[in-house]
A and B are shown apart, each in its own frame.
Chain A
Amino acid sequence: MEEKFAISIYVCNKPGVLVRLAQTFARRGYNVDSLVVSPAHNADFSRITVVVQGEPSTYDQILRQLNKLVDVVHASSHQTTDVVDREMALFKVSVKPEQRAEIFQIVEVFRAKTVDITDQSLIIETTGNSLKIDALEKLLGPMGLVEMVRSGKLIMKRGLEET
């Protein structure tokens, strides 16, 4: 059975790093679910959060292979309880003005935001853990959801310890 894993990787900000990471996953049959790359606190480095799906038996091997890459400073996996995880999503809903009220209710309950509005559509923005976004997607689905964009998961270790 395949499983999902969230890995945070701290890398040198150099060309080709992303390709090397992608090859490490692809060669072992891992599929990348989401990938977030951004400059780290120190601009010479980048922080990457990647969610991958694959065989649990190969997972330790993948972490070791990632750590072996010259440009990877460290790659580590985290328990969900040790980290704050967040994702942002935008939903485009096709909706006529007379049906907006029901959607606004959902937006409020989820503490989401409406960020664009036309006579035929709404764009809703939300931030939260991935489960919350999944739930919102499920609710909006039958109400005219036409497009969804998710940022991919970000994780940060709780406390003072480095992610």
Chain B
Amino acid sequence: MKKSMNGAQILVEVLKNQGVECIFGYPGGSCMPIFDALVDAPELKMILVRHEQGATHMADGYARATGKTGVVLVTSGPGATNTVTGILTAHMDSIPLVVFTGQTITPNLGKDAFQEADVFGVTMPVVKHSYLVRDVKDISRIVKEAFHLASTGRPGPVLVDLPKDVVSNEWKEDFKTEMDLPGYQVKSRGDAKDVTKIAKLLSKSKCPLLYVGAGVVISQAGKLVKKLAETLQAPVTTTLLGKGGFSELHPLSVGMLGMHGTAYANKTVVECDLIMAIGARWDDRITGKVSEFCPNATKIHLDIDPAEFGKIIQPDITVNGDAAEILEQLLPLVKKLETKEWLRKIESWKKKYPLKFPKRGGLRAQHVLAELDRLTKSNAIISTDVGQHQMWAAQFCRTIRERQWLSSGGAGTMGYGFPAAIGAQLGNPKEMVVAVVGDGGFQMTMPELATAAIHKLPIKILIINNRYLGMVRQWQEMFFDNRESGVDMEGNPDFVKVGEAYGIKGFHLRRTGDVTKVLKKALAYNEGPCIIDAEVVKADNVFPMIPAGAALTEMLIDEPPKSRKLEKPVGST
């Protein structure tokens, strides 16, 4: 005979069946029954965070670094609304999360009860799907559906709102109820006819370019991209989120494209005669002015989400399906192209416009990051925050494999980097995890130092500290007559002392001559987290740069002369 359990126990049972290893959470009144049930499930590691936003970013970092679904558990009202930024971040970058929120008891719903928030309504535009569970009998099915939806197709966050009475009620659950999702289909194989057409288009190209996005990372298609690139002898560019989908050490790699991409990647985009997007969505950071984006190139778009087709640009051909499956279908149909001239041209751009930075005038972020890349042999898991340091890390920390690069691309969420590193380290205890953060963003989620410290996670927190909100300052300098407004981080604490207060090891880094020595010491420290406070020059700018909304041909490869008046960008940000 089936045993009667309460809703919280049923939930915990389904989480175990789903193979959940850890839950990032913060308790409160309405989710107390669930926290109580967790006492009897030590195999589900409960990571107590210091703020619910941190929980969502940790679950996100865990998901990005492992490929598994991140799980969050918080209470109702403010606990639930504090997850919204993290849910948006995951939604924009297609990260599988299941977020459980406590809720007031069902008879109180809609009555402005204590800690009641309509989180189902609040989060609706930023979730892949969501549920408000009204009956204990539905918990098992809904949680199964939530994990299925979060992790399949184009992944994304799913929210499950759990009223306290629903998780307290008893029910004899047999865990056999099937999922009921008649409106949800995922296409994995591409249409064979279209794949043949792509092969034909490729065969005619003399200057092809493979444009690799997060879809390649999600479908673990990196090996197939490599095979395709080598077979065709075609160059490959990766988006910010596609980093790791194709090794940036490979001779066919041109690195990252877009607003702060390499000059040679963007020149390759401008001059290619065919561009094939593999799991990438022609984001505005990449296309710049859409009407002038590759006007003469054949455009091919492979994506698991058909809603991406024609959203920004009109491709010549689209194939709906999983990146790995489509590439498997395509590979037998393609052969080597005549690209010698094309590759030679790209090689000359690489020589002429390398990524570079000034060697004098104080400690440079780029120098620190290039040295980090060298010392870690491009093999560490790197999470970043958002801003100048993120772009410099994207330029100078090269990636060689999938799930090594964790960065908030779509949402551009400050405060993401450090908690994401905590999630990544928990999911990959044996790997080196480095959080590259700015002094601004780090302070948004800094209380999670406690979370990292109590679990003795050997995360290296590299603070690129210029005491400025550098990216905004750069724009003010370039486009707003250098009128600084709200960017001075006066009042920053001594980050090494902050670390000490948590019992965390810290290193000051102030001089160019100390970079190697300090980084080596920090990278070798494994007893717990450590902070490297790199006090870099205050006012430095990220180049190359394509001003927002400008065409790729208007790229500024270097700092323009001060006399040159730049027009205010027309793009969004």
By the criterion CB–CB under 8 Å, are A20 and B309 in contact?
A: no
B77 to chain A, nearest CB (A): 19
What residues of B have a CB within 8 angstroms of the CB of A73 in the complex?
182-183
* A64 with B132, Cβ < 8 A, contacts A12-B183, A16-B124, A23-B125 known: no
Q: At the interface, yes or no: B120 with Cβ under 8 Å from chain A?
A: yes
* A64 with B130, Cβ < 8 A, contacts A19-B121, A73-B182 known: no
Q: At the interface, yes or no: A149 with Cβ under 8 Å from chain B?
A: no
> How far is A67 from B121 in the complex, measured between Cα atoms in Å?
20
Q: At the interface, yes or no: B149 with Cβ under 8 Å from chain A?
A: yes
> How far is A23 from B309 in the complex, measured between Cα atoms in Å?
20
By the criterion CB–CB under 8 Å, are B181 and A70 in contact?
A: yes
By the criterion CB–CB under 8 Å, are A19 and B132 in contact?
A: no
By the criterion CB–CB under 8 Å, are A61 and B310 in contact?
A: yes
> How far is A81 from B401 in the complex, measured between Cα atoms in Å?
54
By the criterion CB–CB under 8 Å, are A71 and B183 in contact?
A: yes
* A68 with B132, Cβ < 8 A, contacts A12-B183, A23-B124, A73-B183 known: no
B186 to chain A, nearest CB (A): 11
Q: At the interface, yes or no: A41 with Cβ under 8 Å from chain B?
A: no
Chain B interfacial residues counted at CB < 8 A: 19
> How far is A145 from B281 in the complex, measured between Cα atoms in Å?
52
> How far is A134 from B183 in the complex, measured between Cα atoms in Å?
36
What residues of A have a CB within 8 angstroms of the CB of B182 in the complex?
12, 45, 73
* A69 with B124, Cβ < 8 A, contacts A15-B132, A16-B130, A64-B307 known: no
B139 to chain A, nearest CB (A): 16
B108 to chain A, nearest CB (A): 17
> How far is A12 from B311 in the complex, measured between Cα atoms in Å?
26
* A19 with B124, Cβ < 8 A, contacts A12-B182, A70-B129, A73-B183 known: yes
What residue in chain B is nearest A42 (Cβ atoms)? B182
Instruction: For chain A, residues 42 to 101, give those with C-beta under 8 angstroms from any C-beta of chain B.
Output: 45, 60-61, 64-65, 67-74
B76 to chain A, nearest CB (A): 18
> How far is A146 from B19 in the complex, measured between Cα atoms in Å?
64
Q: At the interface, yes or no: B284 with Cβ under 8 Å from chain A?
A: no
By the criterion CB–CB under 8 Å, are A70 and B124 in contact?
A: no
What residue in chain B is nearest A14 (Cβ atoms)? B131
By the criterion CB–CB under 8 Å, are B305 and A68 in contact?
A: yes
* A20 with B124, Cβ < 8 A, contacts A65-B307, A68-B305, A68-B307 known: yes
Instruction: For chain A, residues 15 to 34, give those with C-beta under 8 angstroms from any C-beta of chain B.
Output: 15-16, 19-20, 23, 27
> How far is A69 from B184 in the complex, measured between Cα atoms in Å?
8
What residues of A have a CB within 8 angstroms of the CB of B132 in the complex?
15-16
> How far is A74 from B130 in the complex, measured between Cα atoms in Å?
19
* A11 with B307, Cβ < 8 A, contacts A16-B132, A27-B125, A70-B149 known: no
Can you show 14 pairs from A to B with CB atoms below 8 A apart? A12-B183, A15-B132, A16-B120, A16-B124, A27-B125, A60-B310, A61-B311, A65-B307, A68-B306, A69-B183, A70-B128, A70-B149, A71-B183, A73-B183
